[in-house]
Amino acid sequence: MKQLEIQGLTLGYGRREILHGASLDALRGGAITALIGPNGAGKSTLLRGLAGLLPARGSVRLDGQEMIGLRLEHRARHIAYMPQSLPQGVALTVMEALLGALRASPTAEGQLSASAATERALDLLEQLGIPHLALVGLDRLSGGQRQLAGLAQALVRRPQVLLLDEPTSALDLRYQLSVMELVRKLTRQHGLVTVVVVHDLALAARYADEVVMLAGGTIRAQGTPEATLTPAMLAEVYGVSARVERCSHGHLQVLADAALPA
The binding site for ligand ADP (CB under 6 A) comprises 13, 16, 18, 37, 39-45
Nearest distance in Å: CB 165, Mg ion: 6
Nearest residue (CB) to Mg ion, 29 versus 167 = 167
Nearest residue (CB) to Mg ion, 41 versus 141 = 41
Q: Compute the Cα dihedral for 98, 93, 149, 185 and give only its sign.
A: negative
Nearest residue (CB) to Mg ion, 83 versus 159 = 83
Element (H, E) at 77: helix 72-78
| Chosen from Mg ion, ligand ADP, none, partner binding at 35 (C-beta under 5 to 8 Å by type) | none
Answer whether 160's CB lies under 8 Å from 28's CB. no
Nearest distance in Å: CB 41, Mg ion: 8
- Residue 44 makes contact with Mg ion by CB under 5 A: yes
Show Cβ contacts of residue 110 under 8 Å, excluding neighbours closer than 6 positions. none
Contacts 24+ apart (CB under 8 A), 19-27: 19/45, 19/46, 19/49, 19/217, 20/217, 20/218, 21/58, 22/46, 22/58, 22/217, 22/218, 22/219, 23/219, 24/212, 24/219, 24/222, 25/222, 27/3, 27/193, 27/195, 27/210
Nearest distance in Å: CB 210, Mg ion: 19
Interface characters, 74-103, with Mg ion (x: CB under 5 A): ----------x-------------------
Which amino acid, one-letter code, is at 144? G
| Chosen from Mg ion, ligand ADP, none, partner binding at 225 (C-beta under 5 to 8 Å by type) | none
Nearest residue (CB) to ligand ADP, 39 versus 113 = 39
Element (H, E) at 104: helix 94-104
d(CA 144, CA 155): 17
Nearest distance in Å: CB 8, Mg ion: 22
| Chosen from ligand ADP, Mg ion, none, partner binding at 135 (C-beta under 5 to 8 Å by type) | none
Nearest residue (CB) to ligand ADP, 95 versus 211 = 211
Nearest residue (CB) to ligand ADP, 11 versus 125 = 11
Q: Which residue is nearest to Mg ion (CB)?
A: 44
Nearest distance in Å: CB 40, Mg ion: 8
Per the document, the length of the chain is: 262
Judged by CB under 5 A, how many residues of this single chain contact Mg ion? 3
| Chosen from ligand ADP, Mg ion, none, partner binding at 254 (C-beta under 5 to 8 Å by type) | none
Show Cβ contacts of residue 18 under 8 Å, excluding neighbours closer than 6 positions. 11, 12, 42, 45, 217
Show Cβ contacts of residue 82 under 8 Å, excluding neighbours closer than 6 positions. 150, 151, 153, 154, 163, 164, 165, 167
Nearest distance in Å: CB 215, Mg ion: 13
Nearest residue (CB) to ligand ADP, 19 versus 95 = 19
| Contact footprint for Mg ion (CB under 5 A) | 43-44, 84
